[in-house]
Each structure stands twice: as structure tokens, then as C-alpha cells.
A and B are shown apart, each in its own frame.
Chain A
Amino acid sequence: MAKTHVTATINGEETEFLCDGQQTMLDVLRDEMGLTGSKEGCGSGDCGACSILVDGRLVCSCLMFGAEAEGTDIMTIEGMADGDKLHPLQQKFLEHAALQCGFCTPGVLVASKALLDKNPNPTEEEARYWLAGNLCRCTGYDKIIEAVMDAAAEMRGE
């Protein structure tokens, strides 16, 4: 089977990889690049644990072929912190204990970042609707929403 050669920017670095026609971007990240922060929860776009940004847009990496990444700019959870300095969302998730098992957390963080990039001052309702595609079976969501709202306030300088 002929593989597709892909060049994409992943977390700021120009990256090349080979993939076949049934590999999703999630497969590529986890199996080819060793970037295992993005998780496979459902593999069908229902749970959001594999959320990444492609050219700034939030998508499920399980619902995208790796070969589609040609020429795109991709951000995964591994690109969220600035070196050792956590992104404010990551810091607030720790402070609010907005995670338990942690499996959904990378996807929730990437989705939350996409929200705040687009809308720095969301209402709680907007945050809840935006994150409706990120399932968490541990926290009951309230702590996640509290952390997102607090991080948004801090990032606005309040």
C-alpha cells in the first residue's frame, strides 16, 4: 500500500510523516509521532478526548485522516504549555481539581483554549455548550467549568 508523505507544522515544528489511507490524525500523533497526550475515547467523534486544533480550528483528530494534515498548522496538548510554564488553563485545572482520572483532560484543555482564543469572555452557558462535545465521566463538569471561567478571568487580567 502506497503511503502518503505529509508535511505539517505540529506544535510549532515543521514535521514530516508517512501514513496510509486509513490512519487518522490521532493514529499518526500517537503511533507515528509519539504524542500520546491526545486520547482515543470513542474513535467516533462523540467524546472529544482526541481534540486538537487544525489551523486554529477545534476538531476531533479521530475524525480526520492523517493525510489531510498536509500543509496545516496543528496544535496538540503537548504544545499548550510554554516550556515548563503551564498555560493558565492548565494551572487553573490543577487549582480547581478539575480532573480526576485525567483521560478527558487533554481534550478538554485544547477545546477550552479554542473557546478562549475565539471568545475571551464567555458566559458560563457559552462555555458549557462549547464543551458539550467533551465527555468527562468523573468530575460532573462543574469543576471544569469553574476552572475555565477562572482562567478566562485571569487571562483578561481581572
Chain B
Amino acid sequence: MYAPTFAAPQSVDEAVRMLGADGAKPLSGGTDLIVQLKSGRNRPAAVVDLKKIPGLVGVEETSDGFVIGAATAGAQLGEHAGLVAAYPGIVEGAELIGSTQVQGRASLAGNLCNASPAADSIPCLAAAGAIAVVVGPNGEREMKVSEVPAGPGRTNLGKGEFIKCFKLKKPTANSSDAYLRFIPRTEMDIAVVGAGVNITRDGSSGPIKSATVWLGAVAPTIVEVDASCIVGTSLDDATLAKLDAAAQSVCNPIDDKRGTVEYRTKVAGVLARRAATIAFKRAGER
């Protein structure tokens, strides 16, 4: 009978050694891995649990911003008041994943490396310019979160590499973010479209100084929207219509039972507008 070996290393170095072996897979929350293992889609020879390594679970607020352990669960993000205040959009994305039970386990790195185009926590991480600190047989390197997914179920991590933590810069004054997704139900579903927006305003009542917009579930990976059309504005209707069009123009979605190509494309424009409006308002309140 199939049974992988199980190990819970206490240090990054030990984990790097173990994950260098053929067929070894890192485990954080396991909410994707265990389902795949049971269905036979993914049959690792060895499961390496990262959660016993110091720093892999938890949120640390530093003078530069935040360091989030790769295996930190969504529920733990929501319990960190400083992170919720600084990056509400990242937290609301993570807290939309699955049920309360799943949110108690599912991690940011797992959401990123499972590489579903519909991963809810990723658009706002990308919009915030989050950095993934990657470790592996060749040492440590930093990647932008947006550069990690390569396509559905595939990443740009090398053999034996895994994410140790995420770095988020300290948000500048009058900046905030927001995430919205559309699902046919009210809870417990996979995004038909997701939109993450990060906005910095020029003063609490000023126009937009800079903006970043990423969409999920409308292409093989998350995609960036050219948000230059909203910079310098306060999101009047004509500007929002431009953002809507810019969002629709980058969509290359699949056609499936949860949404046609036309539907997903249209909803992407709507969510980009709405998420931008929320992020703009939040940015004025900080």
C-alpha cells in the first residue's frame, strides 16, 4: 500500500536536505496536498512538514514591514491586528479560502505553490509587491510573488526549492488594498474571477498617487492590469470605465461550468472597479 515517509525537520537546512530528495514534497496546511495524495493525483515519496521550523508559522512586524512565515494559516493572518490594518485586502483574500476549518490550516505558500489561477490570497499579495523568500539546494533567493506561478499547478521554483517566508514592505501613508471575488454561492467556492487592488493616495483626501491591480481566475496565472489610467484621478465614473476596459483587455479565461469567457471577462472589469473603489476609500482613512 502507498504510504509516504513523514518528517518534521526543525531547521531550514534540514528541510532543504530532505526536500532535495526525489519525490519529496513540502507540507504546510495540507488542504490541497492531502486531497491530492488521497485522490492519487500527487503521490509524494516523502512528506516534509515545515511547520516545526522556527519562523515558518507566524507574522512578525518589523521596522521594514511584515515577515509572514510561509506556512502561516489564513486564520492567523486575520488575528494579527497590525497586518489587518496595513493590508486588509491580503487578509480578506486569505480568509475567503474554503471553510473556517480550511482557514485554520491553509497557508499563503500553499495557496501560491498549488498554483491555481483562482488562488484568492495571491492577487493582493502581488498588488502589494510581496516578495517570496525561496530556499533550496543553491541557497536563498528572493522572487516577486507574481513571478512564482508558471501555470495551473506549476511554479517557477526549482527542484528542491520551497518558500520560507513572505516579505511585505511597510505601507506608505494613505495606502491600502482590497480584494473581491465572485462566486455563484455565498461561501465555500472557487473564484470565478478575483481582483486585488493596492492604492496609494496623495494625502488622505488627495488623488491616486500609485495603483497596482491584479486579477485571478481569468488566465493561466494571475495577470496584471495596466492601472496607469487611474493614477492622478479620484476615480470618477469616466476613470472607472477606463479601468474596467483595461481589466477586460488582459483577460484570457477558460470557459467552464462556472463562467463563460464572456462572463468572466465582464465580471473582471466590474470587480476591478469595485475593488479599486474600496481600496481608494480605505487609503484615505489611513
Contacts and interface: CB of A to CB of B under 8 A. Distances in A.
Contact of B3 (A22, A133, A134): A22
Interface string A39-62: 000011110100100100111101
Nearest to B76: A57
A58 B101 contact: yes
A132 B8 contact: no
B30 A63 contact: yes
Interface stretch (B33-41, B136-144, B250-258): B33-41
Given A64-B30, A132-B99, A58 B104 contact: yes
A8 to B, nearest CB: 13
A153 B159 CA distance: 54
Interface residues of B, number: 31
Nearest to B51: A68
A39 to B, nearest CB: 14
A65 B100 contact: no
A59 B101 contact: yes
A51 B47 CA distance: 23
B98 A21 contact: no
B99 A21 contact: no
Contacts of B98: 45, 133
A2 interface: yes
Contacts of B187: 129, 132
Describe A's contact surface by its main secondary structure.
mixed
A44 B27 contact: no
A1 B244 CA distance: 56
A108 to B, nearest CB: 12
Contacts of B73: 57
Nearest to B105: A59
Given A21-B47, A65-B47, A132-B99, A59 B104 contact: yes
Contacts of B46: 21
Interface of A: 1-2, 4, 20-24, 43-46, 48, 51, 54, 57-60, 62-65, 67-68, 70, 111, 114-115, 129-134
26 contacts: A1-B5, A4-B6, A20-B3, A21-B3, A21-B5, A43-B38, A45-B35, A45-B99, A45-B102, A57-B75, A58-B101, A58-B104, A60-B101, A62-B34, A63-B29, A63-B105, A68-B8, A68-B27, A68-B51, A70-B8, A111-B100, A111-B101, A130-B100, A132-B99, A132-B100, A133-B102
Nearest 3 A/B pairs, CB to CB:
A133-B99, A132-B187, A21-B4
